[in-house]
Structure 1
Amino acid sequence: MKTLTNKTDLSPLEMIRRDMDRMFDDMTPFSKIKFGNGGFGADLWAPETDLIELDEAYKLTVDLPGLNKNDVEVSYKDHRLVISGERKEETDEKKNGFIRKERYTGTFTRAFTLPSAIKEDQIKASFKNGVLTVMAPKAEVKKPKLINID
């Protein structure tokens, strides 16, 4: 899970957690991870993602080569933007053996925690040339009301 906050707002423990998340994300972008006994188990892959803070919105860009928009789902709930989908394995009539297989298949899920000041009803997603782009517009943050002291 990724979180967007200013570093100055983070506690030392939260900074360590973010660094650990980043380390594990960097180790696994778009690569297979084997779980289970002796390398047997589920294959997971995570598409590479950029998250950018713009003046008016947060922009998430996800590389999804070989997929189309029907293979991908975008949802937002409780400040979490979740991108999930599946790349299906291509079937070939010929029973040729692989010498090397680097194109990953299977399901993926990426989740990002966004700040609370998001216009949830105005989040938009587009898909073009294997790239998913999600725009999450920022909501206006209420400033504290100053109270006069009598």
Structure 2
Amino acid sequence: MDVKKLNPWNWFRHEAPQLPAVTGERGLSPQLSLLQFHREMERNFLNLARAVDMGWPHFDTARPLWPSLDITTKDREYVITVEVPGVQEKDLKLEVTADGLLTVSGEKHQETHKGIPGNTRVERSYGTFSRVLSLPDDADRDAVSAFFRNGLLTITCPRRIEAREPARQIEIQKVA
């Protein structure tokens, strides 16, 4: 089996962990238990509002703006596609650091409609976001390119083709 085809590289080792979904889980940490309690209380208040037709607005504070991404490994390049619907190209920022961190950040602005008194329900997320990816050692950081079209940011990072040193045997020394 060719280990290179498995590509075990951890792209997300420098990214802040996201809280997992907490629907019906048991034995959770205090933070997740509090988040689950918050979601249950919010759901109960919304059910009450629907029952008495109060029309309370809904703001989902438990779901941050966290764009999904796909990473494809090819023989000569890595292709990273980031979903950022509703984000303008001018509001996106892409950085590569010398130590191999690729940061995609941006901001999604809330639309305002004049003449409409208010939202009854808001399910879209707005605000700033940042995704940090650790580029593999063979990624050519100086040749990263990107293009943006229809809410998709496509980042291409060529792979360096360098002659790898063949495995060598290490001599084990005797201790006196």
Deviation at 1:59, TM superposition (A): 0.4
TM-score, normalised by the number of residues in structure 1: 0.68
Q: Is the 8 A contact 1:125 1:132 kept in 2?
A: yes
Q: Which residue, 88, 97, 102 being the options, matches 2:109?
A: 88
Structure 1 CA distance for aligned equivalents of residues 20 and 94 of structure 2: 22
Residue ranges of structure 2 left out of the alignment (5+ in a row): 1-5, 22-34, 40-60, 169-176
Provide the residue aligned with 1:101 in structure 2.
122
Q: Is the 8 A contact 2:72 2:79 kept in 1?
A: yes
Q: Is the 8 A contact 1:43 1:106 kept in 2?
A: no
CA-to-aligned-CA distance 1:81-126 (integer Å, 9 cap, x gap): 1100000111222352222111111000001111121212211000
CA-to-aligned-CA distance 1:42-63 (integer Å, 9 cap, x gap): 9731111101111111100011
Structure 2 CA distance for aligned equivalents of residues 123 and 62 of structure 1: 15
Structure 1 CA distance for aligned equivalents of residues 65 and 165 of structure 2: 44
Of Structure 1 and Structure 2, which has the larger fraction of its residues in strand? Answer: 1
Provide the residue aligned with 2:77 in structure 1.
57
Q: Percent identity?
A: 30
Structure 2 CA distance for aligned equivalents of residues 136 and 43 of structure 1: 30
Match for 2:91: what amino acid? D
Structure 2 CA distance for aligned equivalents of residues 46 and 61 of structure 1: 14
Task: Decide which moves more: 64-73 or 41-50.
Answer: 41-50
TM-score, normalised by the number of residues in structure 2: 0.59
Provide the residue aligned with 2:143 in structure 1.
122
Number of residues of Structure 1 aligned to a counterpart in Structure 2 = 124
Aligned partner of residue 95 in structure 2, secondary structure: strand
Provide the residue aligned with 2:87 in structure 1.
67
Residue ranges of structure 1 left out of the alignment (5+ in a row): 28-34
Provide the residue aligned with 2:65 in structure 1.
45
Deviation at 1:6, TM superposition (A): 3.6
Structure 1 CA distance for aligned equivalents of residues 164 and 85 of structure 2: 43
Structure 2 CA distance for aligned equivalents of residues 123 and 99 of structure 1: 43
